[in-house]
Amino acid sequence: MSHRLQVIADELYRHQTAAAELPKLTLRYEGLTVDDAYEIQRLTMQKYMDEGARLVGWKMGLTSKAKQQSVGVDEPIFGHLLSTMELEHPVLSVRGLIHPRVEPEIAFVFRSRLAGPDVTVRDVWLATECVVPALEVIDSRYENFSFTLIDVIADNASSARFYLGDQAFSPYAFRLDEVGVVMRLNGNVVQTGAGAAVLGHPVKSVLEQVRMLTRYGAAIEPGMVVLTGGITEAIHVHPGDRVQIAFAGMGSLELNVT
């Protein structure tokens, strides 16, 4: 393990836990690669796990064309989901966050392990226990939410919090690419979208997740959750805001921001 990557991971951990912005790593450290960025992410997450957090799943990011274009890439990224990031109730405290944004997602929960380069869509369905309406709170630790691909991977793909709805659904109940989503902020419609925004179909995002994890020697383990990616753009939230997300056929989530 490179000393330089550990130094960067320590710096990111300090900024994440202090909710303090930092300038892009790529402005200050030359020659960082995508593999370096995933190693920085892993080392940073390991520090939380050393403090008692558990790895409960993975998140896919940059899964829509719009988001990929905004960062100038044509591939998704992934991050860790830790037990300390999960909201038990749909209440988001902005304490400990810098400039949080909320996005609607479809989560998969797994009954069996998925690993290896040859996993197929059929394997994903067979391994899936249920799907759940979800939301992710992203909070880039970089100044002005400005970063390159390498910066955002190192910063755990901007993930900060997540919430899973109470009601789980069979993955066979309806077409996930046709699930329509309407997001309201304080009663006003601010975003609309459909599951197809996520790499054409959220199941493809899980497949991509397994392939990327395989490259880094990891897997989807039984009981894990995967957030498949934002169905709409993320919206900025502030104390006092109320976010309602209606998932057609999957019920609604309501998040109060304090």
Task: Report whether 81 contacts 221 (CB < 8 A).
Answer: no
SS3 (DSSP) at 84: helix
Task: Give the end-to-end CA distance of the chain in Å, rounded to a whole number.
Answer: 40
Q: Is 209 in the site for ligand 0L1 (CB under 6 A)?
A: no
Q: Is 158 in the site for ligand 0L1 (CB under 6 A)?
A: yes
Of 67, 80, 141, 201, the one binding ligand 0L1 (CB under 6 A) is 67
Neighbours of 136 (CB within 10 A): 29
The DSSP element (H or E) to which 180 belongs, if any, is strand 180-185
Q: Is 206 in the site for ligand 0L1 (CB under 6 A)?
A: no
Q: What is the total count of residues that contact ligand 0L1 (CB under 6 A)?
A: 11
Q: Is 100 in the site for ligand 0L1 (CB under 6 A)?
A: no
Position with the least CB separation from Mg ion = 136
Tokens of 200: 């054409």
List CB contacts of 28: < 8 A, sequence separation 6 or more. none
Q: Please state the closest distance from residue 149 (CB atom) to ligand 0L1, in A.
A: 10
Q: What is the DSSP letter of 220?
A: B
Closest to ligand 0L1 by CB, 6 vs 68, is: 68
Of 97, 114, 134, 152, the one binding ligand 0L1 (CB under 6 A) is 152
DSSP conformation letters of 187-231: TEEEEEEEGGGTTTSHHHHHHHHHHHHHHTT--BPTT-EEE---S
Closest to ligand 0L1 by CB, 46 vs 68, is: 68
SS3 (DSSP) at 127: helix
Phi/psi of residue 137, nearest 5 degrees: -105, 115
Please identify, among the stretches 1-9, 133-141, 214-222, 238-246, the one whose residues bind ligand 0L1 according to the rule CB under 6 A: 133-141
Of 32, 157, 237, 255, the one binding ligand 0L1 (CB under 6 A) is 157
List CB contacts of 211: < 8 A, sequence separation 6 or more. 117, 119
Closest to ligand 0L1 by CB, 74 vs 118, is: 74
Of 9, 37, 62, 253, the one binding ligand 0L1 (CB under 6 A) is 62
The binding site for ligand 0L1 (CB under 6 A) comprises: 61-62, 67, 136, 138, 140, 152, 157-158, 229-230
